Amino acid sequence: MATILNIYKIPQLTYGSAPLMKDKTHGAFFHRMFPNIDHQYKGILQLLLHFQWMWIGVLYLDGDSGENFVQNVLPLFSQRGICFDVIGKFTTMAFYSEINNAIQEATETLKVVMGSTATAFFLHGEIHSILSLRNILQLSEYHNTPLKAKVWIMTAQMDFASYAIQRNLDLNFLHGSVSFAMHSKEVFGFQKFIQVRNPISEEEDGFIDDFWEQAFNCLFPISRLEKISQNICTGEEQIETLPGSVFEMSMTSHSYSIYSAIHAVAHALQSMWSSQLKHREIVDGGTWDPWQLHHFLRRVSFNNSAGETVSFNQNGELEAGFDIINWVTFPNQSFHRVRIGKTDPEAPSDEVVTFYGDAIIIWPHKFNQARPLSLCNDKCHSGYSRTKMEGKPFCCYDCVPCPEGKISNKKDMDDCVQCPDNQYPNNNQNFCIPKVTTFLSYEEPLGITSAISTLCFSCITVLVLVIFIKHQETPIVKANNRNVTYTLLISLLSSFLCVLLFIGQPEKMTCLLRQVAFGVIFSVALSCLLAKTSIVVLAFMATKPGSKMRKWMGKTLSISIIFSCSLFQAAICIVWLTTFPPFPDFDMHSITKEIVLECNEGSTFMFYSVLGFMGLLATVSFTVAFLARKLPDSFNEAKFITFSMLVFCSVWLSFVPTYLSTKGKYMVAVEIFSILCSSAGLLGCIFIPKCYIMVMKPELNKKEQLIRRMH
């Protein structure tokens, strides 16, 4: 209402004998007193993004302005990730005859708004649109439609205006709303100016009488003789007693804009008057068209009595920002507009809005002062990522758990992220946990068991060697080439001991030695077995008349077989060490929760070449032993070698698939198990029966027994 009081005087301004402004020019100029509308839309967009209101409803006033807003502004919101659950329009009643249609349309609008899942609603309208919203919400009492809590976001063109007959209607619908308003500042003396104005002091101002009657719900008698049954206006009523819903005593944004507009016109008139005096163009009774004042209005720049600069840009638009207002209502039907922030038209697009640090935003009561959420669906918690929901706007999405090995540590992440190599996801997949470094150590049960088994088999091998040395002059030892036997026992002992290279933290030297030592030592053992079986076969072939095999008999053959086979394996290992040697490495991927310290074999091909050559030796030894299995038992260990080769081959054929399917330190354990089992198989199958005879049945270890068996 204070705005109307100020506007009322504008058409009275004259220059010479002609009115200064006609209605059309007057409206155009006051449109210029509104800041660039684009700055307001940028501010509203930043407001939505700031509070993360990505799922909103929109109501716009039916008309050209509203249609232009929907077609040109809302697409810009969509580009920044804002989705619209509802885009509806509301109309105003132009004639009393349209009241039924207006009520029907308002009812439909109420159903759409209350049926929407959006919490934030953007209202685009004019000054009377708040009244339209109030009437729409009032219909809920007649249609039993429960009112859901909504946060209304209103443009600066909208302001609260209420008729006197509505002064008792509930204002709670505005509580917690957020609106934009043209920047304003309290002007010194404004409230005093309002307080002293009344129909008595302003007898010539007929507008005051009309305002007084509406505001105080009374009537002025047309004549003193007229009798009025209603309340009589005395003219001495106090304006400050009116509720804020009827009249606001403070300087509103619209009043401040008009206050600045009047001063701008005054400064423009002064400039125009000075210009005419300078050029001596003024004549008595001269008149000017209103448009001629625009040139001077564009150049206006002054400080008003509130201490703020009023100026226009090159487009003739007011250089000013907007205030962001939070509406707070009270049970006594009063309300308060709290400034919580502002817009800066000169700031970058993403920094248009600034919120005051000490401002406490009041939300509608139903939210219990928790910031309202306005989303199509609940946020995806950490441990989940968003995926588009088919047939829905892009703001609507499903939440899917992160795939194995990935996490999401924030809400609403579009994609889960991989943990660093040295970390792994927790069970909820919302943060990464450092992996534990592991290796086959002497401190864990598996390592302790392997070490004890190695020592036990080594002791047994030493015991067997001692027994053979002690009984080296007996027929059973001499008959089976004791030098080769000693070499075989020493190689088996070394095989057991090389297992210790596989236990403990991998280092450069142990990585270089473990596979090479294992390959060469086992090749010596297999070569010894091949030499043993070969000599047995050649010995019986040499006994045939005219056989030329006699010249191959002797120590030279066994040494040649052992040396050549071992040398070939050693050559493979040397090539391996000089080209792609093993080295200490980290395996971060095989086991989810562990970093495995291991020996990288360097060249997988060379590793399997070593195993392949041992397999070849084992196959040849098995074949020769199998062919010699029926020779006389007294000189023949072919049966024992055949069985031991069956054990050896079975172990290492099982090793390859098991090794490839095992991960981490258990790969080392599989290889240790294979070494121990194969070595123990050779030791048990070949030497234990002989030890049993030498220790438990010495009577069988005599030359007579051997000769008797031969015949």
pLDDT at residue 97 in the model: 54
C-alpha 260/C-alpha 29 separation (Å) is 12
Q: Is the pLDDT of residue 535 over 80?
A: no
Phi, psi of 560 (to 5 degrees): -65, -45
Is 294 in the same domain as 390? no
Domain membership flag for residue 454: yes
Domain membership flag for residue 307: yes
Instruction: Provide the pLDDT confidence category of residue 265 given band limits of 50, 70 and 90.
Output: confident
Q: Is the pLDDT of residue 168 over 70?
A: no
Which of 165-169, 228-232, 530-534 is predicted most confidently? 530-534
User: Which of 581 and 656 is assigned the larger pLDDT?
Assistant: 581
C-alpha 602/C-alpha 590 separation (Å) is 17
Is 532 in the same domain as 667? yes
pLDDT at residue 262 in the model: 85
Range from 132-146, 213-227, 561-575 carrying the lowest mean pLDDT? 213-227
pLDDT at residue 279 in the model: 61
Average pLDDT, the chain: 81
Is 680 in the same domain as 654? yes
pLDDT at residue 457 in the model: 93
User: Other CB atoms closer than 10 Å to residue 573's CB: what's the count?
Assistant: 23
- Over residues 302-313, the mean pLDDT reads 81
- Spatial contact of 119 and 373, defined as CB atoms under 8 Å apart: yes
Range from 33-47, 431-445, 540-554, 649-663 carrying the lowest mean pLDDT? 540-554
Range from 98-112, 567-581, 619-633 carrying the lowest mean pLDDT? 619-633
DSSP-assigned states of every residue in 33-77: TSPPHHHHHHHHHHHHHHTT--EEEEEEESSHHHHHHHHHTHHHH
Is 88 in the same domain as 49? yes
Is 410 in the same domain as 536? no
Q: How many structural domains is the chain composed of?
A: 4
pLDDT at residue 341 in the model: 92
∠336-342-347 over CA atoms, to 5°? Answer: 175
Domain CATH number, residue 592: 1.20.1070.10
- Over residues 586-591, the mean pLDDT reads 84
The first and second tokens of residue 602, run together, are 């360097």
Domain membership flag for residue 219: no
Domain membership flag for residue 46: yes
Query: pLDDT tens, 401-428?
Result: 999 889 998 888 889 999 888 899 999 8
Domain membership flag for residue 90: yes
User: Which of 471 and 631 is assigned the larger pLDDT?
Assistant: 471
Domain membership flag for residue 223: no
Segment holding 253, helix H or strand E: helix 253-279
Q: Is the pLDDT of residue 166 over 50?
A: yes
Percent of the chain residues topping a pLDDT of 90 = 22
Q: Which domain holds residue 529?
A: 445-710
SS (H, E, C) 680-698: HHHHHHHHHHHHHHHHHCH
Is 153 in the same domain as 300? no
- Over residues 69-96, the mean pLDDT reads 84
Query: pLDDT tens, 356-370?
Result: 988 889 999 888 888
Is 148 in the same domain as 290? no
Query: pLDDT tens, 6-32?
Result: 333 333 333 332 233 333 444 444 445
Domain membership flag for residue 140: yes
Q: What is the number of alpha carbons within 13 Å of residue 437 lying toward its C-beta?
A: 7
∠184-188-193 over CA atoms, to 5°? Answer: 105
Which of 299-313, 405-419, 474-488, 533-547 is predicted most confidently? 405-419
- Over residues 568-587, the mean pLDDT reads 91
Which one-letter DSSP state was computed for residue 343?
E
Instruction: Provide the pLDDT confidence category of residue 286 given band limits of 50, 70 and 90.
Output: low
Is 463 in the same domain as 491? yes
Domain CATH number, residue 336: 3.40.50.2300
Is 299 in the same domain as 335? no
Q: What Cα–Cα distance (Å) separates residue 521 from each residue in 405, 564, 567?
A: 42, 14, 11
In sequence order, what are the residues at sequence separation of 6 or more whose Cβ sits closer than 8 angstroms to the Cβ of residue 21? 10, 11, 13, 29, 265, 290, 293
pLDDT at residue 77 in the model: 93
- Over residues 437-456, the mean pLDDT reads 91
Q: What Cα–Cα distance (Å) separates residue 275 from each residue in 271, 278, 295, 472, 567?
A: 6, 5, 12, 137, 115
pLDDT at residue 3 in the model: 36
- Over residues 644-650, the mean pLDDT reads 84
Is 508 in the same domain as 617? yes
Q: Is the pLDDT of residue 662 over 60?
A: yes
Crossing angle of helices 688-696/445-470, nearest 10°? 50
Residue 21's region, left for phi above 0, alpha for psi from -120 to 50, else beta, is beta
Q: Is the pLDDT of residue 43 over 70?
A: yes
Which of 162-166, 433-437, 470-474, 530-534 is predicted most confidently? 433-437
Domain membership flag for residue 679: yes
User: Which of 707 and 71 is assigned the larger pLDDT?
Assistant: 71
Is 632 in the same domain as 585? yes
Instruction: Provide the pLDDT confidence category of residue 352 given band limits of 50, 70 and 90.
Output: confident
Rg (CA), the chain: 51
Phi, psi of 642 (to 5 degrees): -60, -45
Is 289 in the same domain as 172? no
Q: Provide the pairing of β-strand 301-303 with 353-355.
A: unpaired
